[in-house]
Structure 1
Amino acid sequence: MGTNGARPVRMQWWLLLGLSAGLLLVATATITTSVYEVPVLLAYMAASAQCAALPLVLLRPHPATVLQFAGVAMFSWSDTDTDGIWPLPVPVLVVLVLHIGLIGARCPWKEAVATWWASAFFCIVLVVADPLGRGLDHAEASLIIYATNSVLVLFGAILWSQRAAVHRELVSARRDVLLEQTQRALVEERGRIARELHDVVAHSMSVIHMQATSAAYRLPGLDPEARAEFSRIAADTRTTLREMRRLLAVLREETAGPELHPVPDLGGLGELAASARRGGIPVDVEVTGDLPSSALPDTVGLAAYRIVQESLSNVVRHAPGAATRVKVAASGTELLVEVVNGRPTGPARPIEEPQHPGHGLIGMRERARLAGGTMWTGPHSHGGYRVVARFPLPADSPAQRLPDVDQ
């Protein structure tokens, strides 16, 4: 990081300015020696000061400007016949204008304008304090040419610099917005998961409450202590259900009671496939293994259903007309869910509202993780896209692990 507000420098800028400074050094020293008859030693010393200041601008703008002015002073006060372009011979003027342009591109615009004003004032001082007494009449043309060209280069460099700064700010703003939207999507997805988990747990707690409440009627001969224990279980269950419904109302930002409905599971795959077919997607559903919905944990069945649902929605949105295969296989220890679509056969449908890639995948991965599973997504080897999710199942029956899916 340079001082005086200069921005970080890339290596290609160092290489470009270093090479340019070397070429300008040779050209300036040669031209001033052969055309303007500046002594060789003085010409190379002054040209070295001027040209070395150019790459130094990238690191130390203020010392570089002082070094540039020193080189200009050595050329200007040399005892030579400059044929009406004193105090700035053509090669000296070119290097000085390039220096002002670099200042405009590297430094804040106020510093750049101040540096240009200082360079114009410095040229006037050189004329007034000339030890040879050549006077302002000899320098008028040179000063006008420098002022006109340098101010154009300066404002061009400032505009370029501001454009680059605005572009960087826009890129940073887009990145921040995308990150915020991604986080918001993750929070919303977690909220939906929490509401659906509420329905899962509420169902189980309702069953417990019913069993505890009816125990005295279903089990004759219970002693008083057992009756009291069942009564406490029923009361605790009612309290838990009230707390869960209150929490759900907070998640939904509402005061009314939650809308309860059955939790979807893999038993609804047929409806999902039919809905996708109505959207123009040929879907083939393959279910293997012993897969009664009642044998699956509710969280696993819900997560698997939502992953298939989101995968089919993505096919409808991004690969219209693509043939899609949904495979669900279960063993005693694992549930495998795989959705593979081929290449689209029609143009992608226009999206009416702004969409941002990756939010659906984020939600699917979050669901798989919360259900204790893993998920993999990526392009299919034969074209199209593949989504694979694996969920562990309670080992209620001896069975071999499902074969690995080629990823």
Structure 2
Amino acid sequence: MKDPTPEAARDQDWSAGASPLTRQVQRALQRVRAFDRRRPLVWDVTLTAFYVTVSLIDYSSGGWRTIARNLDAPHPLVLLLCLGFSVPLLWRRSHPMAVLLAMAPVSLVNSWTGILLQAALLQFIVVFNLALRGSRKPVLWTLPLITAPTVIGALRFPEDSWDLQVFPALWGYTMVVLLAMAVRTRKEYTAALVERARQLEVERDQQARLAAAAERTRIAREMHDIIGHNLSVITGLADGGSYAAKKHPERAGQALEAIAGTSREALTELRRLLGVLRDDTPPADLTPQPGLADLDSLVSGVRSAGLPVRMRMRGTPAEDADTAGRELTVYRVVQEALTNTMKHAGPTARATVDVGHGPSGLTVTVTDDGHGHSAPATDGRGLTGMRERTALYDGTLEAGPLPRPPGGWQVRMHLPSTPGPSGPREEDEIP
């Protein structure tokens, strides 16, 4: 029979917090169990040899005569019964039911002849192993195998009251079965606790991996937005500066200054973002993330790169409606949309940024009138990043070409409102 207790449960040290003596006993028992699992035959042979030796000492010393009903029993028969009760114990764990069946005729002869060897109690060891590892039905079948020879002996040699011979056997059988059930229940309970702990460790590791994956995605999204936008601005400024250097050298110098400023801004944002990846991170930088108030500087930077942008803000945000996270989402979506316009809309394109607060929430629309907008439709990283950011706040994002004429491209994001009063405001246009 296979032991239902897993290896992890059997090797677990459950003596934490116990007295030193208890811990020493627990460690000794664990070493014995570990040796038994590695070499079960050695333990079985040792235990069997011990009981065979005890049975032979009982035979040779004549101790069996103290309780025997028939003192004239032949000695070879007594020796055979001693070996019949003790030798089969070698297979008590691998084939307990077969061992008990083999002992049954030996027990019957023992009771019928009146020898009444104390070695008959070795049957209880087999019953214990069967109850510990087997199912309920085989255990019930062992009751007549144990009690029938005892009843026969009580009827054949009625020197004492028959109940004084039968009831001790019944009580012994009951106590052995209950003890085996208690040990088995404890093992199964311990195994369940260990399995539960293992499952919790697996769930913890899975949660850690999911959190790490989500953090990697967030960092990749931030880096894509920061690097992509700033490199597009730098590219536009460099192209414009190269063109202006031929006719207006002073404008080339302005372009270089703008490139330097944009580069420093990009480096600052990257350092702040990558700082979280260090193990020896210093105290966190308290510089706020960009939000709605920073859209002016974003649009100014894009304008300096050569893309005409017109921004319009409408309505009044609800009190505490736009959190830092929502404002960062709006900023990054506008940034990505304008970056795509600079990359793909063509040199003559113009863009419009419309930010509107209303009762249903915040709506941001970025539109351009370019004609080279084929790439954003398949730009999985940028478009996916905008949609992921929008989905964090239960918003929706639509991106696609506008009908011709006039054509162009539009990105429209809507973030639902959060609880709080809101009110209209006169339209405020930033030229």
Q: TM-score by structure 2 length? A: 0.46
Between structure 1 and structure 2, the one with the greater Rg is 2
